[in-house]
Amino acid sequence: MKPLREKDLIQIEVTNACHNECTNCSRFVGHYKKPYFMDIHMVEQAILSLQDFPGYVGIMGGEPTLHPQFVEICHLMKRHISPEKRHLMTAGYHWDKYKGIIKRTFGENVDYNDHNDTTQKHHPMLLSISDIVENPECLETSCWVDRIWSASINPKGCFFCEIAAAMDVLFDGPGGLPIEKGWWEKGPEAFIEQQKRSCHQCGANVPFLPARLEDEQDVVSESNFQRLLAADSPKLRKGKVTMVRRKFGQSELAGMAEGWQPWKHLGVKEEEGAGKSRLEMYGPFYGWRLKMKMRIRAKFWTFRRLEVQMDRLLWKLGLR
């Protein structure tokens, strides 16, 4: 397990509600009978617990702009987290309504994916490795989710992995570590129980061909199918779940792993260059200015340091 202090980002999952219901959503949207909206005091507690974290502090969902107190959440981020460390993931719901405060709060640190391209592919996280792999130990190597995605906080506590956090909510697990200052400084030993109950239940390391959003079928293994039944999953009741019963051997898995890049969600249209550019989210002027800043950063490595120092000074003066 990668130490949390070395991660680039820790997410605060303020809600698991979403206007989309994507195939194989890593937040398992569509399987909850009732979504949660994190209490605003808990949101502030979560933000405060990450004040000294060296990486980005993210706001994520579901779709975070669905939270009824999204504006207050932005104000809390501006109050407690320096500008260069704030991050937002959104599918763009209420974009026109909140574009101004998003720009002032998160600036260029916004991941915008509206999921309108139905050829996008999401990896099936509910393919339990212990269900479908003959020898699970052969895949017990460094997990790509642990390496490049985030740890997270949700209403049930703090988790070393965002998939483990979402599973704990979906399957009514025992929860994470308490939301308190310095939790992210704890070593891997503090998260062993989370790993034991979630990693073998997860399919992140199984090199399985992901389904496209247009397929509208979540791919799950047998044990997770039974857990979804117990959770009375609305998506399962709608017939939008396909169960995989077979097991894969080591040689077959090696063949499946060739060219496998599950962290790439891009669909055909996006790979061809269509869709909304992040540089255009706030309009042509902002996009042009950001392009210029990126060119200067590439040429003069000290420019970014000066940017950060200036932003922090303005933040301390209450101007950012």
Same-domain check for residues 228 and 312? no
Name the band, by pLDDT with cuts 50, 70 and 90, for residue 139: low
Cα 26 to Cα 97: distance, rounded to the nearest angstrom: 26
Does residue 23 lie in a domain region? Answer: yes
Q: How many domains does the chain have?
A: 2
Does residue 214 lie in a domain region? Answer: yes
Same-domain check for residues 128 and 222? yes
- pLDDT tens string 104-118: 999 999 999 888 888
Q: What's the CATH code of the domain at 267?
A: 3.20.20
Does residue 150 lie in a domain region? Answer: yes
Does residue 279 lie in a domain region? Answer: no
Same-domain check for residues 235 and 310? no
List 87's β-bridge partners, or say none.
58
Q: Report how far apart, in Å, the C-alpha atoms of 217 and of each of 126, 188, 191, 242 are.
A: 12, 35, 32, 6
Provide the percentage of residues in the chain whose pLDDT is more than 70: 94
Does residue 278 lie in a domain region? Answer: no
Same-domain check for residues 267 and 290? no
Whether pLDDT at 249 is above 60 = yes
SS3 content of the chain, % helix, strand, coil (to 5): 45, 15, 45
CB 168, CB 13: distance < 8 Å: no
Q: What is the pLDDT of residue 24?
A: 96
Range of the domain at 298: 284-316
Determine if the peptide bond prior to 157 is cis (ω within 30°): no
Does residue 134 lie in a domain region? Answer: yes
Instruction: Report the SS3 class of residue 188.
Output: helix
Same-domain check for residues 108 and 222? yes
Same-domain check for residues 158 and 297? no
Same-domain check for residues 202 and 61? yes
pTM over 0.95: no
Place of tokens 């992040």: 278
Q: Angle at Cα 290 formed by Cα 94 and Cα 298, nearest 5°?
A: 140
